[in-house]
Amino acid sequence: MANKRKQRNIMIIALVVIMILVVVLVLATRKTSTLKQNFNIENIETITKVSLADKSGNRIILTKVADSLWTINDTDTASYNMINTLLTTLKDMRVREPIAKAAHKNILTQLAGQRTEVQVYQQSYVIDFWFIHLFKKDKLTKTIYVGSETQDNMGTFMLVKGTQEPCVVYIPHFRGYLVTRFLPYLDLWKSHNIFKCNPKDIASIKIVIPKQEAESFELYQKDNTFKFKLLKTGEDLNDFDTMKVTALLSSFMDLNYESVANEITQLERDTIFAKEPNFVITLTDTKGKSRKLKTYVKLYNTDSWVSENDKNDFYKIMDVDRMYAVLEGVKDTLILQFFAMDNILNPASYYFDNTNR
């Protein structure tokens, strides 16, 4: 009986071993070249630089300065959200399917003519042996050519440099294509942040209204509390509405502009920017660093400005949703939404009036 049980156990073990060997053999011998997942990068935390360039001469270089800070061409600050999207795309994208042999030539021709070249640099070391890491350097580890989207808009044609096997690449569970995540346009990658300051780190906020000097004021921190001062008289005022002041302080935690004004008409330059700004906002933090923002009205329709029929119609002349702004240290003229500035563009009297506007 014991011998029979022993033989049966040996047969079961032998059968299991044979099954394991078969599975290993199948996995080891099956063809995987056309679906090789060599497009994505797993260890994105080691990425130090990404270069994006198209055939039209557009090129930007994104460089990592700190964990949450990247620059564009070593000058402008890059948008954190855009950088995060790029890095997660590089990590998550996968091959959906290889390109049929019959379509290889057409896709390769397309990638040669209309594509974005993506060069990824990662941190490496001149000496990298076991636990010894010496002489840190940036190393070009992967170059990907990003083409157009597929006909179903659910994938993107891509090719890894050094191969001749273009593939349709996608992100699992994401509906859409990936072309727009690699566009080398400067304005697209710029950070839209104007002010980003925790209220406890604000030393002062100065709101100057050139056309209403009596309404200009400064909110400044002293002895761990905020004081309210009229700029024209230098008088400190008490009993201000703390809820409204709190809303003002909170507005500077993460204030962003909508876009860059690329087309400012000569009429606007002559009638708007030749005059004083509507508001001048200066924020100074507890480290002594200041930033100044000037706001101007924006015309809704420049043609109506000179129209006799519309010259008295405010809503046909002025854009009631957006305004222009000039930020100290930034060469571009910006466009802001009034909605984002709602708690900032108020006169001093607003903070002592408990009625709703």
What share of the chain has pLDDT > 90, as a percent?
Answer: 59
Residue 342 neighbours by CB under 8 Å, 6+ apart: none
What's residue 253's pLDDT?
94
Residue 132 neighbours by CB under 8 Å, 6+ apart: none
What's residue 267's pLDDT?
81
Cut 0.85: pTM above it? no
What share of the chain has pLDDT > 70, as a percent?
Answer: 85
Enter the tokens of residue 5: 């049980």
What's residue 34's pLDDT?
45
What's residue 122's pLDDT?
93
- Give alpha helix (H) positions in 66-139: 80-92, 104-113
The arithmetic mean of pLDDT across residues 11-36, rounded, is 62
Residue 11 host element (H or E)? helix 2-29
Q: Which of 163, 152, 59 is nearest to 111 (CA)?
A: 163
What's residue 11's pLDDT?
76
Give all strands of the β-sheet with 290-296 in edge-to-edge order. 236-237, 225-230, 217-222, 202-208, 279-285, 290-296, 322-327, 333-337, 259-260
What's residue 32's pLDDT?
41
The arithmetic mean of pLDDT across residues 10-39, rounded, is 64
Residues 333 and 264: beta-carbon distance below 8 Å = yes
What's residue 325's pLDDT?
96
The arithmetic mean of pLDDT across residues 80-84, rounded, is 93
Residue 219 host element (H or E)? strand 217-222
What's residue 320's pLDDT?
87
What's residue 47's pLDDT?
95
What's residue 52's pLDDT?
97
CA–CA separation, 55 and 114 (whole Å): 6
- Measured between its terminal Cα atoms, the distance across the chain in Å is 96
C-alpha Rg value of the chain to the nearest Å: 30
What's residue 355's pLDDT?
47
Say which range, 126-135, 207-216, 234-243, has the weakest mean pLDDT: 126-135
What's residue 24's pLDDT?
60
Say which range, 8-22, 37-51, 142-156, has the weakest mean pLDDT: 8-22
Enter the tokens of residue 181: 């995540």
What's residue 1's pLDDT?
57
What's residue 6's pLDDT?
66
Q: Which own/partner pairs from 308-314 qualify as long-range (CB within 8 Å, at least 24 positions apart)?
A: none
pLDDT band at residue 104 under the 50/70/90 scheme: confident
The DSSP code sequence of 35-49 is: G---S--S-GGGEEE
Residue type, 357: R
Does residue 344 carry a pLDDT above 80?
Answer: yes
What's residue 233's pLDDT?
95
Residue type, 148: S
What's residue 3's pLDDT?
65
Half-sphere exposure of 328 (CA within 13 A, CB side): 12
Average per-residue pLDDT in the chain?
Answer: 86
**pLDDT (tens digit, 9 = 90+) per residue, 177-236?**
999 999 999 989 998 999 999 999 999 999 999 999 999 999 999 998 999 999 999 999
**pLDDT (tens digit, 9 = 90+) per residue, 278-330?**
999 999 999 999 999 999 999 875 554 444 454 555 445 788 899 999 999 88
Does residue 121 carry a pLDDT above 70?
Answer: yes
The residue ranking higher by pLDDT, 125 or 162, is 162
Would you call 73 helix, strand, or coil by DSSP? coil
What's residue 25's pLDDT?
63
